[in-house]
Amino acid sequence: MSAPRLTVLAGPTAVGKGTVAAWIREHHPEVWLSVSATTRPPRPGEQDGVHYHFMSGEEFADKVSKGEMLEWAVVHGRASYGTPRGPVDEALAAGKLPLLEIDLQGARQVRASMPEACFVFLAPPSWDELVGRLEGRGTETAEERAVRLETAKVELAAQSEFDRVIVNDDIRRAAEELVSLMRSD
């Protein structure tokens, strides 16, 4: 069997990437989930080192300048997010099944440096469903939602750049489809 390759999960805002990743974290310990760095403050219930590595803008910029980020991006014009490179390299070397849940800009950077990775796009069942989910989760102001929907339009148009598209019609089903795809490689 060939060594596991990196899988990158991207998709528009509010499609449920984080929820699919959380399902996998809970039910599939064999999958190694990258913990991103971010400059945004933690939301209630989020733990440093588990959901994100929360850090200041200075700390983040320092890691970028030292080449310690595999990819990074400013998401929704608000905060920086990035994938620490070292743990991904270690997971790959250890033969683990590594998964990155990142935005489209980050996925493109990974494609440039690791074209052999598997790129998966998580799509909403429909546009209306996506708008409904964004409004329903109530974590953004109306202004932030409008920005996110603009980003989502651009992101949806990028589906064809991906190796696979998984429709998030049901979190559990979508998560299981992703894990079996990772296992089959």
One-letter amino acid of 139: T
- C-beta separation of 12 from 156 below 8 A: yes
Q: What's the length of the chain?
A: 185
Residue placing its CB nearer to ligand 5GP in the complex, 40 or 96: 40
21 burial type by CB count under 10 A (0-12 exposed, 13-18 middle, 19+ buried): buried
Show contacts with ligand 5GP in window 133-162 (CB under 6 A): none
Using the minimum distance from each CB to ligand 5GP, give the nearer residue, 43 or 180.
Answer: 43
Cα distance between residue 78 and residue 174, in whole Å: 29
**Number of neighbouring beta carbons within 10 Å of residue 18:** 11
Site string for ligand 5GP, 28-47 (x = CB under 6 A): --------x---x-------
Q: How far is the CB of 21 from ligand 5GP (least distance, A)?
A: 9
Name the one range near ligand 5GP by CB under 6 A: 60-68, 98-106, 115-123, 164-172: 98-106
Positions that interact with ligand 5GP (CB under 6 A): 13, 17-18, 36, 40, 71, 73, 75, 81-83, 101-103, 105-106
